[in-house]
Amino acid sequence: MNFKTLLLTIPFWIIFCNIFFSSDYNISIKHIQHALFFVIIPIFFSLIPPQFFNKKYLDRYLFILKITCLVIAITYLFSFFYNNSIEEFFIVFQHISSFRTYVYYQFDLFVIHPTYYTTLLVFGAAHSFDLVLKQKKYNELVFVISFIIISFLLLTRLNILLLMTTLILMVFLRSKLKLQQRIVLSLSIVGLIATLALLTPGIKHRFFELVQSFNVKPKDVSYDSTNIRRAIFDCSVAISKEHFLFGVGFENLQAELNACYHSNYDSSFYENHNYMTHNYFFYILLSSGIFGLALFLLYLFKILRIALKSGNFLFKVFLFNVVMIWFIEDYLYRHYGILYFNLLLICFIRYSENQSIETKTEPKKTLV
């Protein structure tokens, strides 16, 4: 394992080293298990021959990813309408549509959080739209439109905003169209967004909830995702101030958060569900202190630097989207989040290394 690969395993070692100071090894080991992909994937992929990370293979991997996402979307829709009537599709209860409720709580064929799943859709749509703009592969619009629709149906607010922003920016940054054509295309995307915003059950409620509930504390059984997240954020800030240098330890994190919820909120929102930090930066800071966070920021700086130097637009889209999600979800704590992130990250890094080697080994042209 070379030094570059070792740097890509930093998050694992932050969590692993904490076990030497742990007061409860059983809980600490669970956190280590959740971080294993940070060490398994970089090391395993470093052993794979470089020819498996050229453009042909990368496009093939991404096509498989998009097909998988499309199959998941179709399965969600088929399963919902098989078990529910069309009238039930339009029901909205407590700002949540019946479709999202079904996927989140009742669908059990496979389990993936809507936010994590739609993170894949943002990247998949960007990849397909890039093929439309650069290579005129209009059949890729099937993925783009499907991923937009299912993202709206799942009411994933941040990913909807990221998806729309990405597509509109791509019109101006990635296409060779004339200015007037770019404006028309971007307005068409805005028109599609507006139509979906009007027709999608629950979407307006989800965004209005941000304004209505942000400054309202959870009370009794009156709470929603917005004021719960605000409560989590406030408790995370309070705990970080008290344990800034060394943190509370990964094994004590949930107990400290629950104690804060109990002390500050007259509500039962945390009693039947363990709400962690919903912010990976706070997860590291609260558990390992400022020194652990500094190491994690070093890791983030390293991968951002690689992405920026690569000149690969989709690499940047992928990384920016995922980092945004780190601020609102325990993304790298969940197995499917950390797996997706590390798989694509290492694929892009290995592909970028190949591109760099090919550029350096190209025969220089001599002037005659």
- CA neighbor of 311 nearest in space, from 350, 344, 355: 355
Residues 168 and 142: beta-carbon distance below 8 Å: no
The Cα 247–Cα 253 span in angstroms is 9
| Distance separating alpha carbons of residues 181 and 275, to the nearest angstrom | 47
Q: How far apart are CA 75 and CA 234, in angstroms?
A: 38
299: its two tokens: 């890791």
Q: E strands along the chain, which residues?
A: 92-93, 96-97
**Sign, CA torsion 132/136/142/145:** positive
- Token couple for 129: 């739209």
201: left (phi over 0), alpha (psi -120 to 50) or beta: beta
- Domains of the chain, by residue range, sit at 1-47+224-310, 49-213
Q: Can you give the pLDDT of all 368 residues of the chain as single tens digits?
A: 688 899 999 999 999 999 899 999 999 999 999 999 999 999 999 999 999 999 999 999 999 999 999 999 999 999 999 999 999 999 998 889 999 999 999 999 988 989 999 999 999 999 999 999 999 999 999 999 999 999 999 999 999 999 999 999 999 999 989 999 999 999 999 999 999 999 999 998 889 998 889 999 999 888 999 999 999 999 999 999 999 999 999 999 999 999 999 999 999 899 988 999 999 999 999 999 999 999 999 999 999 999 999 989 999 999 999 999 999 999 999 988 999 999 999 999 999 998 877 666 655 544 43
109: which DSSP letter? S
Single out the residue of 340, 306, 352 nearest to residue 62, CA to CA.
Answer: 340
Q: What is the pTM of this model?
A: 0.92
In this structure, what token pair is assigned to residue 120?
A: 């894949």
Torsions phi, psi for 36 (to 5 deg): -60, -35
Going by C-alpha positions, the residue among 361, 260, 342 that lies closest to residue 42 is 342
How many other CB atoms are found less than 10 A from the CB of residue 244?
13
Task: Count the neighbouring beta carbons within 10 Å of the beta carbon of residue 234.
Answer: 15
Cα first-last separation, the chain: 45
